[in-house]
Amino acid sequence: MKKPFSRRLLTVDPSHMITLHQEAIEQLELMLTTVEAAEHTSDGVRDALNTMAATHWEGYLDVIHMICMHDEHLAAVMKKHDSKIIDYEPADTERHFYGNRLLLLSLLTGLVRRHRRFVYFYGLRSNPMGDYIKESIAREREHIAAIVGMIENMI
């Protein structure tokens, strides 16, 4: 009799996850800088900076896609929030930012802080606060998915 396939939990390499979250932070900070700079310019320069910001957002989505490939819990949360990141493919169309720029800057800052928390959490080893950390990670996954959805709606 054939044994049914059983799914084993995939062990996550903390150093690899730290690297992925650091790259997410880098893309978000670059985007944040270009969006801030675009606020102080006009016409052609603003368009160029907006294009750069959109490119950094695409880079961030690529990194989130890679994180979701390793973190099935984040992938499930993203799917729950109807995010297209799980099946993400870069868009051929040009993206534009709509809505309040200050809100966009605040959301980007929030994403950076959440990814920094993941870097911190993955850096902890055999910590006595394990239960708190698990709850906190779950909450941060929810927040990341919600904020990504908000930004996607603004673009």
- Interhelix angle for 43-70 vs 72-80, to 10°? 120
Q: Which residues contact 128 (CB under 8 A, 6 or more apart)?
A: none
DSSP assigned state of 44: H
Give tens-digit pLDDT for 8-55.
445 678 889 999 999 999 999 999 999 999 989 988 899 999 999 999
Please state, in angstroms and rounded to a whole number, the distance separating the CA atoms of residues 18 and 95: 29
3-class DSSP state of 83:
coil
Query: In this structure, how many other beta carbons lie within 10 angstroms of the beta carbon of residue 122?
Result: 20
Q: What predicted TM-score, i.e. pTM, was given to this entire model?
A: 0.82
Q: Which residues contact 95 (CB under 8 A, 6 or more apart)?
A: 54, 57, 58, 155
